[in-house]
Amino acid sequence: MLPLSLLRTAQNHPMLVELKNGETYNGHLVNCDHWMNINLREVICTSRDGDKFWRMPECYIRGSMIKYLRIPDEIIDMVKEDQVQRTRQRDSNRGGRGGSNQRGRGGHNMRGGLGNRGGKNPRNPLALKKSK
Partner 1 sequence: MDFQFPVRTASLLYELDKKLMVLLRDGRTLIGYLRSVDQFANLVLHKTIERIHVGNQYGDIPRGIFIIRGENVVLMGEVDKEKEHCPQLQQVSVEDILNAQRKEQEVKQERSRMLAKRLKERGLSFVPDLINDDLF
Q: For binding to partner 1 (CB under 8 A), which residues are involved?
A: 1-4, 6-7, 20-22, 36, 48, 63, 66-73, 75-76, 121, 123-126, 129, 131-132
99 vs 113 by CB, closer to partner 1:
113
What is the nearest approach in angstroms of partner 1 to the Cβ of residue 31? 15
Q: How many residues does the chain have?
A: 132
Classify residue 35 by its DSSP letter.
T
d(CA 17, CA 61): 9
DSSP 30-41: EEE-TT--EEEE
